[in-house]
Amino acid sequence: MIRKLTFNSLLLVTILGLQCSTPMEPVSPDTILPELQKVMEESYYFYPDAEFKYSLNEVYAESLKQVNGYNKSTADMDTVIKQLQASGGDPNKISENTIQFMEGVFLRLPDHSSYFIDQKSLGLLEDSARKAGTGIVIRKGADGKFRIVDVLDGSPAQRKALPPGSIIESVDGEPVQGLSVEGVAARIRGPLDTEVELILDGKNYTLVRSQFPSPTPMRNTWEVNGNKVLVIQLRSALSGAADDLRSMLRGGEQDALVLDLRKLNFGEFDEVFRMADLLVNKGILGSIKTRGDDKKTYQASEETVFNGRVFVLVGNSASPFSEVLAAALSGSPNVTLVGPRLKGNAFIADSMKLARGMLRLTTGVIHGPDDQPLHLTGIAPDILTQDYLPHSAPMSSPAFNDPAHQAVEEALK
């Protein structure tokens, strides 16, 4: 089992490359499903089901109904296996139905966040022969569609003006429906200077894969009603991001800070709490709870690097790292959250080998400063605005078409 304080359903398609492998072997339900059941019993955060007020056997029945029309209200694992084995004599069809059943189960579990990476996609991900990408960040929505949520500076995607918000329909002629986020990324990456063809919202784009720098924070300053405002757009919460933010905050004479989290798309939760600690001088920032009584609590230190008014801009297209950082900052009286209400999609996921593929399973949840699970409470903004995804770095004045910028400008009057 590979443990990482990370999240599900978002991936940066940048540097690592992939190479085609042998075709995927059929999945047998009597092999993979008992393994899945065992892993869930041992590691899934929301197990046993009775403690979290859902029925796993009802989930199985609903997922089986989607595959073969099963008409009973419950199904144990033995019933599921027998039903899938009888769903067709072709091993490939049985395999397809088994994968579809598993996808249905994950969609109906409380976290809506666990998922399976198939054998072919995993083989591509583990092949380091090619190391070039396109510079897009993709997220799989609740509707199963893959949306571009960011385009990195200096990347092939930026040069081709790929529009954020676009839906990826196919990669090199292969439809992406039913794949994991990693599966889509695996097909987009490839050898340096080779072409990849994407269909986005029905339009064809051909990109040449390349290597390019990792994203860095962007900054600017505004003059708003006599206030000097420092604006920082965060792009990463990977190791070292807290030190970068500290450097950007020190030495200035700003009256207010705008911290834009709407393009913060990847990182590590430990680093997220280090970043929050720079702006909060007391209290609990949050905690990570895993199976049993295991809990890691993050406490704010007394030192802060900025004591003025802070506006934190949030959006629904960013990652759980953005949501957790916003929640951790919300406990400070000088912080104002600006944006739409957030769902609190904040789970810890482990990677586990499953048959010939890989299972990404939720094994923990993140609590906010009030010690409540974020996925249950959500994150309420102090100033509610329409959701908006900025397409560029902050300019020298608030953008007239950005609802969050306009809200900050109004608040500083």
Domain with CATH 3.90.226.10 in the chain: 218-342+379-411
345's tokens:
């999609």
- The pTM for the full model equals 0.89
Q: Nearest Cα to 99, choosing from 24, 49, 3, 189? A: 24
Domain with CATH 2.30.42.10 in the chain: 120-208
Q: Nearest Cα to 272, choosing from 3, 1, 6, 2? A: 6
Choose which CATH entry (3.40.50.720, 2.30.42.10, 3.40.50.300, 3.10.580.10) describes domain 120-208: 2.30.42.10
312: enclosing H helix or E strand: strand 309-313
Q: How far apart are CA 245 and CA 227, in angstroms?
A: 21
Q: How far apart are CA 74 and CA 58, in angstroms?
A: 5
Q: How far apart are CA 110 and CA 59, in angstroms?
A: 10
- What is the model's pLDDT at position 339? 98
Q: How far apart are CA 397 and CA 381, in angstroms?
A: 23
Q: How far apart are CA 320 and CA 143, in angstroms?
A: 18
320, burial (CB in 10 Å: exposed 0-12, middle 13-18, buried 19+): buried
Over the chain (413 residues), the average pLDDT of each successive run of 10 is 43 41 75 95 90 91 95 96 89 92 93 91 79 89 88 91 93 92 91 94 95 87 94 95 93 90 93 97 95 90 92 92 96 95 94 93 96 95 95 92 97 93
- CATH code: domain 218-342+379-411 is 3.90.226.10
- Per-residue DSSP letters for 226-283? TEEEEEEE---BSTTHHHHHHHHHTT---SEEEEE-TT---B-HHHHHHHHHTT--SS
Handedness of CA 169, 101, 72, 47 (dihedral sign): negative
- What is the model's pLDDT at position 112? 87
Does residue 390 contact residue 263 with C-beta atoms inside 8 Å? yes
How many other CB atoms are there within 10 angstroms of residue 166's CB atom? 21
How many other CB atoms are there within 10 angstroms of residue 203's CB atom? 11
Does residue 244 contact residue 267 with C-beta atoms inside 8 Å? no
How many other CB atoms are there within 10 angstroms of residue 397's CB atom? 15
Residue 320, preceding peptide bond in cis (omega within 30° of 0): no
132's tokens:
């070039």
